[in-house]
Structure 1
Amino acid sequence: MATRLILHGRVQGVFYRDWTVSTARGLGLAGWVRNLPDGTVEAHLEGEAETVEAMIGRMQDGPPRARVERIERKDAAPEGFSRFERR
Structure 2
Amino acid sequence: MGFLDWFSDLFSSDKDSGETLESLKQKEAELLVNIENAEKVVNAAWRAINRSSYGSKALLHEKAKHAENKKGFLEQELAQVRYLIKQKGTKKVA
What TM-score does the superposition give when structure 2 sets the normalisation length?
A: 0.28
- Where relative contact order (Cα < 8 A, 6+ residues apart) is larger, the structure is 1
Greater fraction of residues in helix: 2
Greater fraction of residues in strand: 1
The structure with more radius of gyration: 2
